[in-house]
Structure 1
Amino acid sequence: MNYTDVHDKLTDYRRQIAAIREKMRDTLADVEPQVVGDYAFTNLDGTVHLSDFFGEHDDLIVIHNMGATCSYCTLWADGYNGIHRHVVTRAGFMVTSPDHPSVQKKLAESRGWKFPMVSHAGSSFAKDMGYVSGKGGWLPGVSVFRRENEAIVRVSDTGFSPGDDFCSLWHFFDLLPGGAGERPDAQKKTSCCSDH
């Protein structure tokens, strides 16, 4: 196919994707929220709770991160760092993983991450939210919570997978001849997202 034909075909596919996303937003608007507890986590200061991270907002975005051993989770988190200051104008934001807070701090410092991280180790949070696999491994994704009077409810969530919409790098690579090809150095390690 010549360049113009391919361009037109891809433009049509992108319009179809945009239409599906609109349907997804409409479907989400009708969801009955899931009431959840005010889960306890740990950070370097001690015990913190889910409610502590809403800040001045009624909404909170929580990332389910598999920890320092997952190269894909690290790549996703590099992306959150770039948009964090924009996200927090609209909602609270935090990342949770099973790692000890000292491990989280070391990784965050090595990557220049600015967002808050907490450990869910010892809690049922990841399992209750559906981010533990049938084999007992951690799963990556995101849950969105809302404060409604005295209650905390989950209003949406989705899992992550390599090449998804939550990491823009893959979409830039898709525009290159040959697509993503070899992943960047950070991705040549074990791809733990598909192992659990």
Structure 2
Amino acid sequence: MGKKVKAAKNSSEKSGTTSKEKNDKKLRKISEEIAELRKKYIKISSRQAKMDINDYVLKDTDGKDVKLSEMFGDKENLILIHNMGKACSYCTLWADGFSGEAYFIEKKAAFVLVSPDAPEVQKEFAASRGWKFRTYSATGTTFIADMGYYTEAEGYWPGVSVFHKDAEGKITRISKDYFGPGDFYSAPWHFFDLLPETKEEKEK
């Protein structure tokens, strides 16, 4: 009897190891597929995003004019967040996350947030959230609509545009993306994915 139990245990352990190895292999394959699809997504999205850009004039939080070209600082690339404004709680969730990441992002590219809110509204709200990046107001300009983040039919959309400025000062948009629950730009959603479904979620 003892030998049979030991043999069964060894068989179970061997089977478990094999199962783990198979699952690890599947997970690696899925991760590689996700990474490859992400590259393809960015490639296609960048083709759609590419366009020459005028040197728009926006407002800083003190109401002073600031050219888009000035937002680059000493960087060649500018990551610009299209935020829908104070009234959008989801936009605030994204921006709060960026605040902790801005220090690291700005080692590679300039990083700013633009919204339709008036400068004084932006200034007060950014301070209340403790945001550690620059914010600019596009109120009174066509910038947000021209970038594809506003239409009269659908209103504002959140997202990101990435701009490049060459040695001659020419500005080109080189990539863009939209924000939404489960995207690559807000960490909480990915933690939520690891939680068990609630009763309400199961009933949907």
Q: TM-score, normalised by structure 2?
A: 0.78
Deviation at 1:7, TM superposition (A): 6.8
Query: Would you say 1:112 and 2:104 are equivalent positions?
Result: no
Task: Name the aligned partner's letter for residue 80 of structure 1.
Answer: F
Match of 1:55 in 2: 73
Task: Name the aligned partner's letter for residue 143 of structure 1.
Answer: S
- For 1:32 and 1:103, the matched residues in 2 are separated by 30
Query: Would you say 1:145 and 2:163 are equivalent positions?
Result: yes
Q: Relative to structure 1, is the Cα distance of residues 47 and 32 closer, same or farther in structure 2, using a 3 angstrom cutoff?
A: closer
Q: Relative to structure 1, is the Cα distance of residues 32 and 10 closer, same or farther in structure 2, using a 3 angstrom cutoff?
A: closer
Offset from partner CA, 1:41-61 (integer Å, 9 cap, x none): 112151111011101110001
Deviation at 1:161, TM superposition (A): 1.2
Deviation at 1:24, TM superposition (A): 3.9
Task: Name the aligned partner's letter for residue 186 of structure 2.
Answer: C
- For 1:67 and 1:61, the matched residues in 2 are separated by 17
Q: Relative to structure 1, is the Cα distance of residues 41 and 27 closer, same or farther in structure 2, using a 3 angstrom cutoff?
A: same
Match of 1:85 in 2: 103
Instruction: Count matched residues.
Output: 180
- For 2:38 and 2:128, the matched residues in 1 are separated by 35
Q: TM-score, normalised by structure 1?
A: 0.81
User: Structure 1 regions of 5+ residues with no counterpart?
Assistant: 183-196
Match of 1:185 in 2: none
Contact 2:116 2:139 in 1 (8 A): yes
CA RMSD across the alignment: 2.6
Choose the corresponding residue for 2:186, options 158, 167, 176.
167
Higher helix share: 2
* TM alignment of 1:1-196, pairs within 5 A: 9-24=26-41, 33-43=50-60, 44-135=62-153, 137-148=155-166, 149-178=168-197
Offset from partner CA, 1:111-147 (integer Å, 9 cap, x none): 1101000100100100110001351511111000001
- For 2:155 and 2:44, the matched residues in 1 are separated by 30
Task: Name the aligned partner's letter for residue 96 of structure 2.
Answer: D
Deviation at 1:172, TM superposition (A): 1.2
Q: Relative to structure 1, is the Cα distance of residues 25 and 81 closer, same or farther in structure 2, using a 3 angstrom cutoff?
A: same
- For 2:42 and 2:145, the matched residues in 1 are separated by 26
Offset from partner CA, 1:141-180 (integer Å, 9 cap, x none): 100000122211100111111221110110011111127x
Q: Percent identity of the aligned residues? A: 43
Q: Over alpha carbons, which structure has the higher Rg?
A: 2
Task: Name the aligned partner's letter for residue 192 of structure 2.
Answer: F
Contact 2:69 2:169 in 1 (8 A): no
